Amino acid sequence: MAKTIKWWIERNYKTKKSLTDEIRNLINQIDDDCFITEEKDIELLTWVLSHHHDYLNKINGSTNFKIRVRRSLVNSGNKELLILRDDGTEIDISWTKALNPQGSSTHKEDLRNAAVQAVNDQIIEFKDKNTDTICCLCKKQIEDKIEACHYEPRLNELLTQFFGNDEEMEKIDIKDGSYASRYFNPELSEKWATFHANQATLKPAHKKCIRQRKSN
């Protein structure tokens, strides 16, 4: 098992969450497609990103790279970071991955990511057809955009039902796509999508409520 090194303690962040919250707030305040310009923000993000397992490849020798914020192509509720290298090329880099043990995503996270992408059209269809604006988790009105919540059974339960336990999930082959996306082979993707269409019950929720539920 990988040992978690709580490197955020070196800057007096008592928990990973306190640093995660600060970074998310910082990024959310930057408009889409804009560069981070405040010196202290650049310094903070560079410190976090430097823990990414593939950081050296990502910066590719750049000593003066810039960091740009972009709307996620996979999940429009998320913002992600890109590095503009000294040579003018640009590459995405995940700050949440940088905060994981080993600075990389776990197999289970990759599987979850691939599973969500394989059913993306079902999620879009749900959002398009949905007329209910009460959050299924906090029961309050959703003022802005709704997110699709796997209310019951939860996504993790569906994943276990379909893919099996952790050990069996480890054996599933997951391929890297562009922009931090992951995918299964087409046959598995199809089977999972059919299973999901039959078994999942999607309900509207606030994005923040889904996030809170996930971390509990």
Binding site for Zn ion (CB under 5 A): 135, 137-138, 206, 209
Q: Residue 26 CB, nearest distance to Zn ion (Å)?
A: 24
DSSP state of 34: P
Measured from the CB atom, the residue of 138 and 193 that comes closer to Zn ion is 138
Measured from the CB atom, the residue of 111 and 148 that comes closer to Zn ion is 148
Measured from the CB atom, the residue of 103 and 204 that comes closer to Zn ion is 204
Measured from the CB atom, the residue of 59 and 202 that comes closer to Zn ion is 202
The C-alpha atoms of residue 120 and residue 193 are separated, in whole angstroms, by: 9
Measured from the CB atom, the residue of 66 and 213 that comes closer to Zn ion is 213
How many angstroms separate the first and last alpha carbons of the chain? 22
Measured from the CB atom, the residue of 59 and 205 that comes closer to Zn ion is 205
Q: Residue 212 CB, nearest distance to Zn ion (Å)?
A: 9
Q: Residue 126 CB, nearest distance to Zn ion (Å)?
A: 17
Q: Residue 137 CB, nearest distance to Zn ion (Å)?
A: 5
Q: Residue 201 CB, nearest distance to Zn ion (Å)?
A: 17
Peptide bond between residue 101 and the one before it cis (omega within 30 degrees of 0):
no
With a CB cutoff of 8 Å and minimum separation 6, the contacts of 151 are 136, 137, 201, 202, 203, 205
β-strand partners of 90: 84
Tokens 């804009």 -> residue:
34
Q: Retrieve residue 13's tokens.
A: 């962040």
Cβ atoms < 10 Å from Cβ of 148: 20
Q: Residue 146 CB, nearest distance to Zn ion (Å)?
A: 10
β-strand partners of 92: 82
The residue number whose beta carbon is nearest to Zn ion equals: 135
Range list of H helices, 29-119: 39-49, 55-59, 95-98, 107-118
